[in-house]
């Protein structure tokens, strides 16, 4: 039996926890990170650190330059929103949304998975804190999984029945941090900030920083990240 799985590793807290959960479940991990033309490389550097520390079988970084399209504060010279209230963050789809990003990432992940004969794909999306993102919803994942089995040779030949695992889907940030801490994840290796300084220090004010801060505070833990 092939117990390999592909895990999308962004370098953030959620994907590091997802990878740790998949390892804990006994999978041999093939980590996939996407250089999508984001405004800084710190999260990709973090992904490399996480992959190495957790002990994955292989870590692949692939480039798909979405900055050619722009349109998001993460891929174009648009200011990252700062100091937003919690209700504001949860309220509507923000300018940091990257058009169809999870669909692109998951498509790359099933391509990699089919190539290595793995049926399991892990992605650290979360429907609680980011209620506004259309591609974080459970119904989106269910539809993608169905599509994956229609779209691949391994799927139509019934050799692989793809499963898209979203272990964090219904967890709050605090619960994610608690789970990862129990599994020994060193969150000091991860990077969440959308708008770090040139040394990679977090701004402390973007949505990603604020959600991370709230998560650690609710979990009663100190954030070891910079």
Q: Which residues bind Zn ion (CB under 5 A)?
A: 193, 202-203, 206, 209
**Residue 19 and residue 27: Cα distance in Å, rounded?**
9
Q: How far is the CB of 208 from Zn ion (least distance, A)?
A: 6
Q: In the complex with Zn ion, which residue's Cβ is closer, 25 or 197? A: 197
Q: How far is the CB of 109 from Zn ion (least distance, A)?
A: 26
What are the CB-based long-range contacts (under 8 Å, 24+) for 51-55? 51/9, 51/19, 53/186, 53/189, 54/16, 54/19, 54/20, 54/23, 54/29, 54/185, 55/23
**Residue 56 and residue 194: Cα distance in Å, rounded?**
26
Q: In the complex with Zn ion, which residue's Cβ is closer, 122 or 130? A: 130
Q: How far is the CB of 173 from Zn ion (least distance, A)?
A: 14
Q: In the complex with Zn ion, which residue's Cβ is closer, 7 or 209? A: 209
Q: How far is the CB of 194 from Zn ion (least distance, A)?
A: 5
**Residue 96 and residue 203: Cα distance in Å, rounded?**
15
Q: How far is the CB of 39 from Zn ion (least distance, A)?
A: 11
Q: In the complex with Zn ion, which residue's Cβ is closer, 121 or 193? A: 193
3-state secondary structure of 142: helix
User: Six-digit token pair at 82?
Assistant: 């700062």
Alpha helices for 55-172 (secondary structure H) = 86-91, 101-116, 138-151, 153-156
Q: In the complex with Zn ion, which residue's Cβ is closer, 14 or 120? A: 14
Residue position matching structure tokens 């998949």: 22
């Amino acid at each position: 039996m092939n117990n390999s799985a592909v895990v999308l590793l962004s370098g953030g807290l959620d994907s590091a926890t997802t990878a740790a959960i998949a390892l804990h479940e006994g999978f041999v991990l093939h980590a996939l990170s996407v250089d999508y033309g984001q405004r800084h490389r710190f999260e990709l550097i973090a992904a490399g650190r996480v992959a190495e520390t957790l002990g994955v079988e292989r870590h692949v970084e692939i480039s798909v330059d979405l900055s050619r399209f722009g349109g998001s504060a993460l891929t174009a010279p648009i200011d990252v929103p700062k100091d937003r209230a919690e209700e504001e963050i949860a309220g509507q789809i923000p300018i940091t949304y990257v058009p169809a990003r999870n669909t692109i990432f998951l498509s790359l992940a099933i391509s990699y998975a089919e190539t290595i004969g793995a049926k399991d794909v892990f992605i650290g999306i979360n429907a609680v804190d980011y209620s506004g993102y259309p591609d974080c919803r459970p119904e989106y994942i269910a539809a993608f999984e169905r599509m994956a089995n229609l779209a691949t040779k391994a799927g139509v030949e019934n050799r692989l029945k793809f499963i898209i695992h979203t272990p964090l889907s219904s967890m709050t940030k605090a619960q994610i941090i608690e789970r990862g801490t129990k599994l020994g994840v060193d969150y000091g290796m991860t990077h969440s900030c959308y708008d770090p300084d040139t040394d990679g220090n977090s701004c402390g004010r973007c949505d990603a920083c604020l959600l991370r801060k709230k998560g650690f505070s609710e979990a009663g833990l100190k954030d070891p990240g910079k």
